[in-house]
Structures are given as C-alpha cells and as structure tokens.
Amino acid sequence: MSVPSETFKSLVKAAAEQVIASAPELTSLDQAIGDGDHGTNMKRGCEAVLGKLDAISAQPLDEAFKMIGKTLVMTVGGASGPLYGSFFLAAGEALSHDKDLPDDLADVFGSAVNAVSARGRSQVGEKTMLDVLVPVLETLKTAAGQPDLIARVRSTATEAAERTAPMQATKGRASFLGARSVGHVDPGARSSCVLVHAVCAGLEARA
C-alpha cells in the first residue's frame, strides 16, 4: 500500500489541528490531576509540525515520521514531547526507506508504542497515554483487514480513554495525587485518543 504525499499531508494537518482545537480540554484535564500544561505544550508542538508541514510531507514516509518526532521533541517542552516524539521516531525507524507502508501496519504501531513504554518506563494500567495506545494496537492486530477496522479503532480509543478515569495514576505528576487522581480522564490518554480519532476521520473521508 502506498500513501500519496497529499494524503499523508492532509492526515498530519488534520491530526495537528485537532490537537490544537482540543488544547483547552487537555489543559483542563491536566489542571485536575497534573501541572496544567498538557494542552499548551501539545499545541506548541503541533503548531511547530504545521509550520514544517511542507518540508515534512516532501520526505519519504520514514523520514517524515522521524521529522515529526524530532519536531515534537524539540518544541513541546513537557514530558509529552519525548513521549510522543519517541512514538514518531520509532515509527519512522520501523518503516523501511524503500517502501511506503509495510504489509503489517500493527508492527509499525507496535514499535512506536514500545518506544513510548520504554521512554516513560511505564506499562498499561498506570493511567497514561499507553492506556489508549496499547488497546488501539490490540485492535489493529485483531481487526486487521476487516472492513470495520477504522470504526473499531475509533471506538477502542474512545472507550480506552474513558477507562482511565477510574484508574489511580502511578506514573507522572498525577501519581503525586495518589487516590485523588481517581475520577479524572488522563490528559495524555485523551490526547492520544484525539490523535487516533483525527487519523480515523481523515482516512474515512478518503475511503
């Protein structure tokens, strides 16, 4: 499967714009259980990606992913920079240089998720972005090739983000709150959900 550069560009643009539009919500979630900067940090990073969008989409897909990752690392300014940055850097590493997309998309996504886990020294169940990314990876594996794959990925992300609300955080600033972190959706899980939804919507619009 190959991805025309215009399609890639419009997906990146839609994802960045969705995150920017969600910044107030992400900030408000982070004010409840963190330091309240997740929205502004992600907005800064996504604006930087939009600023380089032409240069990014002119690259082969693997280099484009790495460029997105590096841009986020250099501009986000919070822990989410290296975490999302590592996701895209690892995805770029997992893509081969000569092909556009591998047969097994879940392999690439899995490498990216593993990089987030390693960078954050975190596992699923600790009330983080991994609590969305790991279930999405599972759906990518189990529903691969199914006609309703995109719809299933979307509902997986929605449900997984909601499931972080009753969790008690054991990683990141939210863990300082102990039991008081229960009852709030994790901001990182929510931003991951926003990104997944934006890509799903973009792919559906082109289907």
Q: Which spans of this chain sit near another protein (rule: CB under 8 A)? A: 35, 37, 40-41, 44, 73-75, 77-79, 81-83, 85-86, 119-120, 172-173
* CB closer to another protein out of 3 and 74: 74
- DSSP assignment of 43-60 equals HHHHHHHHHTHHHHHTS-
What distance in Å separates the CA atoms of residue 133 and residue 123, rounded to the nearest whole number?
11
* CB closer to another protein out of 94 and 199: 94
CB of 184 to another protein, least distance (A): 18
* CB closer to another protein out of 76 and 106: 76
What distance in Å separates the CA atoms of residue 112 and residue 180, rounded to the nearest whole number?
31
CB of 85 to another protein, least distance (A): 7
CB of 82 to another protein, least distance (A): 4
CB of 52 to another protein, least distance (A): 15
For 18, residues 6+ apart whose C-beta sits below 8 A from its C-beta are 194, 195, 197, 198
Residue with tokens 């499931």: 163
CA-nearest of 185, 188, 180 to 78 is: 188
For 102, residues 6+ apart whose C-beta sits below 8 A from its C-beta are 94, 95, 96, 108
* CB closer to another protein out of 8 and 84: 84
CB of 153 to another protein, least distance (A): 27
* CB closer to another protein out of 43 and 184: 43
